Copies of this chain bind each other. A is one copy, B any other.
Amino acid sequence: MMPEHTVSSFDAELKELGRKIVEMGGQAERLVADSVGALIRRDGTAAQRVVVMDAAIDHMQRDIEEKAVLVIAKRQPMASDLRDIVATLRISNDLERIGDLAKNVGKRVLAIEGEYHPQKLVRGVEHMTDLVLEQLKEVLDAYAGRDEAKALEVWRKDASVDTMYTSLFRELLTYMMEDPRNISVCTHLLFCAKNIERIGDHATNVAETVYYMVTGNMLSDDRPKADASSETTVTFPTRTLQG
């Protein structure tokens, strides 16, 4: 049995790691919202800020990794405590990737600055982002509250993000086919949409980690998958262009 004061400082270290994850999660949420906000408002300055701010998230990830490894080495935690610390390692990786993806959206906003933005399609990306941000918020709440039921709920909802992405993918392709002048901007919107969809995947990863952290069990490997876009093609509308 460890002396009382050692146990308490171990608890304090675990809490500190948890606080850092929540902080990093908040920062990741903000970056995602800001990057898509910049896309909608065509705000190059805001997009540039997202690109710069991503470095702070990378730094948080390294900090959490370092502290987590030191706690493992110093405390030799067993079972559920070890799962807690491994969870911080995994979640910080996913949040770091989310930051990267938001940065990428920011870069695309800069790329299409000044070009015509098809409002309907931009709104499609916005709508998808709302859903993904909701997922991200819920899963961070699930982490903070150690709530495996909530994590499971997030995990189950990923399919609706994927469905939305697949339909947006089709729409963007159709738009390009109807008027080749849309190709450049729609390609960048396609990559934006893909980035948002992948942010949803990382939120789902976090849900799996929270579930594992709380219960010690892995969610089935059969993640609900409804993104069929990589298997989707859109038939060239011959009629429209030849008729």
Query: Which residues of A line the B interface, CB within 8 A?
Result: 55, 65, 69, 72-74, 76-77, 82, 85-86, 89, 93, 104, 107-108, 110-112, 115, 173, 176-177, 180-181, 183-185, 187-188, 190-191, 194, 221, 230-236, 241
Known: A73-B76, A111-B232. 5 other contacts (CB 8 A): A65-B86, A72-B73, A73-B77, A111-B231, A177-B180
Chosen A-B contacts, 27 in total, with CB atoms closer than 8 Å, are: A65-B86, A69-B72, A69-B82, A69-B85, A72-B73, A73-B73, A73-B77, A93-B93, A104-B230, A107-B230, A108-B230, A112-B233, A115-B233, A176-B176, A176-B187, A180-B236, A181-B236, A183-B234, A184-B233, A184-B234, A184-B235, A185-B233, A187-B187, A188-B230, A188-B233, A191-B194, A191-B230
Which of B74, B173, B187, B191 is within 8 Å of A76, CB to CB? B74
Which of B73, B104, B177, B230 is within 8 Å of A183, CB to CB? B177
Residues of B within 8 A of A82 (CB): 69, 73
Q: Pick the most buried of A65, A69, A86, A173: most chain B CB atoms within 10 A of its CB.
A: A69
Q: Give Cα distance in the complex from A100 to B187, angstroms.
A: 22
Residues of B within 8 A of A104 (CB): 230
Q: Within the complex, what minimum Cβ distance (angstroms) separates A196 from chain B?
A: 15
Chain B, residue nearest A110 (CB): B231
Q: Give Cα distance in the complex from A82 to B73, angstroms.
A: 9
Given contacts A111-B230, A233-B111, contact A241 B74 (CB under 8 A): no
